[in-house]
Chain A
Amino acid sequence: MPSLTRIQQLVKGVQKGDKRSIARTISIIENNEPEAQKIISLLYPKTGKAQIVGITGPPGAGKSTLIEKLVKELRNRGNTVGVVAVDPTSPFSGGAFLGDRVRMQDLSLDPGVYIRSMATRNYPGGLARATKDAARVLDASGKDVVIVETVGAGQSEVEVIKVAHTILVVLAPGLGDDIQAIKAGQMEIGDIFVVNKADRENANKAMSDIEAMLEMATEKKGWKPIVVKTSALTGEGIAELLERINEHRKYLKKGVIDERRKEIIENELVEALTQKIRESIRNELKQKDEWNKLTQKVLSRQIDPYSAADKVLARQLKPKPTRKH
């Protein structure tokens, strides 16, 4: 296996923080190249040190610009930072325009910062399938803080909770009234809510709408979500925001992080299992040409998809020699 040495070199490079190695490794994972699983398995034991901060919120709220300011502040305090910024893939062409770097230009030459733009490749929930593992690569590379920016997210994109320890929901004035603030989904996942563009009018109104909503929120295991007002334009509130993020980090250290991590890992295991099972069953059916037969049967209304799946599963779940991937 000639590629094994290449993998080992990459893994070594990542651990040294070498940007080229980090870049190649993320691509291998993102492209699902055959070495991807091996690389993850080698890097995985080196992860778990970074604080992973998820940043989500609607398009145009100022997430990328806020990240630039936040990273600068983190750098001033001596932290190294990795950023994974996700933008949507076109469901029509499969292409993507990744524009988050435009707002982070000042960071591109800082040796303590690594930024990666990532397209969703039509993965649902506001992130890409590879985002979590990309964050892991940055964690293994020794970054103190890893920031994950979701696509401009609507109400139900909450995939970020499966990746990040601390979640910032970034909003801007004028996006909606107190009715929007009560809605389910995104407004439930924030550990810290940020009202950005505080230089605009109505910032205080947005602030109080969210505060009122949070008044009724149930405390999440000892943490009451808070609201911070920032202006990425003027820098107002950035230092305070970082204080709050640190507070959340301290809070997480008190054993809560283990719980959070456990939740994340449980989710991940379920996902990995689902994917592997799906893949293995489909491959097997395809080999025996059963896939076509089954599709035809469902198509001609001889059987419905759920019963067909039951039948397949009943057969598949009989014990047999396991196949190594």
Chain B
Amino acid sequence: MNEKKERKIRVVIAKPGLDSHDRGAKIVARALRDAGMEVIYTGLRQTPEQIVETALQEDVDVIGLSILSGAHSTLFPRIMELLKKKGLNDVLVFAGGIIPQEDVPALKKIGIKEIFGPGTPTSTLVEFVRKNAPKRK
């Protein structure tokens, strides 16, 4: 085997909670795909447990969370907690959707690297992921 080493950034794009608007999530997934990444999409209405389990089985480098329901302050801490519990400490987590500015500091404090609001150019996202995805051996 071994013609050459092939490393791709693997990302899971997940929709935690109960809102069913996934246009944003799909646009992000598409942009990352077009940037040469392998993007796993979970589909709607995922529990924190499902998202973390997917990240684990798929051995991803990055998790992107899209939420518009307002439940981020409940769901995101749970996701971060589970990631730690499963030993997925080096996974890069970012989020997007409708998240009020005043909630951002608390979310960053629990380990969400960046929160992107509506209108973020996809090129910003791509650059962010490329720059911050863990460099694994």
Contact = CB atoms under 8 A, between A and B. Distances in A.
A214 to B, nearest CB: 35
Interface stretch (B51-59, B69-77, B99-107, B115-123): B51-59
Contacts of B54: 101, 108
B78 interface: no
Interface stretch (A22-30, A204-212, A223-231): A22-30
A44 interface: no
A20 interface: yes
Interface string A289-325: 0000000000000000000000000000000000001
B2 A95 contact: no
Interface residues of B, number: 34
B1 A96 contact: no
Interface size grouping (class) on chain A: 35 or more
Most B CB atoms within 10 A — which of A36, A101, A102?
A: A101
A325 B38 CA distance: 29
A132 B32 CA distance: 27
A325 B3 CA distance: 12
A98 B30 CA distance: 11
A121 interface: yes
Contacts of A109: 49-50, 53
A218 interface: no
Interface of A: 19-20, 22-24, 26-27, 30-34, 36-37, 40, 89-90, 93-99, 101-103, 105, 108-109, 114-117, 119, 121, 272, 275-276, 278-279, 325
In the A-B complex, list the 4 residue pairs whose CB atoms are closest, starting with the nearest: A102-B43, A23-B59, A95-B33, A94-B36
